[in-house]
Amino acid sequence: MTTRTRLSHLQQLEAESIYILREVAAQFERPALLFSGGKDSITLVHLALKAFRPGKFPFPLVHIDTGHNFQEALQFRDDLANRIGEKLIVRYVQDSIDQGKAVEEKGKFPSRNAIQTVTLLDTIEEFKFDACIGGARRDEEKARAKERVFSVRDEFGSWDPKLQRPELWNIYNGKIHVGENVRVFPISNWTELDVWEYIKAENIPLPSLYFSHKRQIVWRENVVFPVSEFVTLDSSDKVEEKTVRFRTVGDMTCTAAVESEANSLDDIIREIQTSRTTERGSRLDDKRSEAAMEERKRGGYF
């Protein structure tokens, strides 16, 4: 008599994500994995190692560097690419600004989050990528919840939630017209807590930003905001030193921290289990309007 082994919740999520990554390799000619140095894209790289080793990845890692990134994330990005021996392509938002293709925001906290779309679309065109894999999850934000796993973009990079394909069972349709591309989200069905529990189970290294550390901060819109060279302070700003960590890692001009003493994976998991705020509640670019994320996605944002 054959005994069937029941997969745990994390094992089921892992198996689904590996299946999706292999579907990308099978269905597309020139895919890429968008890598930011954040926990979700790091998890994707770990899943890709399981999906394709001992062979090489069938896609490069691609980072759109806004120029406002945390140095810890950039260093981790470079170290990881070197450690696993995979190709890393970096393109810079500053180049798009210098070429007159993107206009930088003015003001005290000038975010480059929206204009990185210009650089991303140019990079897709430069390398003729027909699929871009990313670490977005449906629980992050309500616009993310409208995404399919294979999310089709038109020839201008635009996303229309009303023109997405049904995905029955585990059947994914990667057929596209010339000029179109697909954004693929292998961890769509994961939650923030799932990601952290998987990171713990697999002993996945992370940038130090995610763990408690002392940092100079100012208060902005009732959230803890990191002091950096990209933020213009004035006489009304009171710089303090707080023990903080980051739940999500974006630009230094739009990513707030949370006061926290969590300096281990167990501490972080307990903190998330009891938290009443969302992960992206500390992303100020999402608060600019009720539909900020959806507006950016319609324009080609990841």
pLDDT computed for residue 301 by the predictor? 56
Three-state SS sequence of 42-63: HHHHHHHHHHHCCCCCCCCEEE
Together in a domain, 262 and 169: no
Number of folded domains in the chain?
A: 2
Together in a domain, 267 and 190: no
Residue 3 covered by a domain: no
Together in a domain, 39 and 133: yes
pLDDT computed for residue 221 by the predictor? 77
CA–CA separation, 88 vs 80, rounded Å? Answer: 10
Report pTM: 0.89
Q: Which of 122, 123, 106, 105 is nearest to 114 (CA)?
A: 105
pLDDT in tens, the chain (302 residues): 566 678 999 999 999 999 999 999 999 999 999 998 999 999 999 999 999 999 999 999 999 999 999 999 999 999 999 999 999 999 999 999 999 998 988 877 778 888 899 999 999 999 999 999 999 898 876 666 778 899 888 877 777 777 788 888 888 988 888 888 899 999 999 999 999 999 999 999 999 999 999 999 998 878 888 998 888 888 888 999 999 999 888 888 888 889 999 999 999 999 999 887 777 555 565 555 555 555 655 555 55
Together in a domain, 166 and 32: yes
Do β-strands 240-245 and 213-220 pair in parallel, antiparallel, or remain unpaired?
antiparallel
Backbone angles phi, psi at 242, to 5 degrees: -130, 155
Q: Which domain holds residue 178?
A: 9-196+290-299
Together in a domain, 64 and 163: yes
CA angle 131, 163, 289 (to 5 degrees): 90
Residue 201 covered by a domain: no
Together in a domain, 213 and 80: no
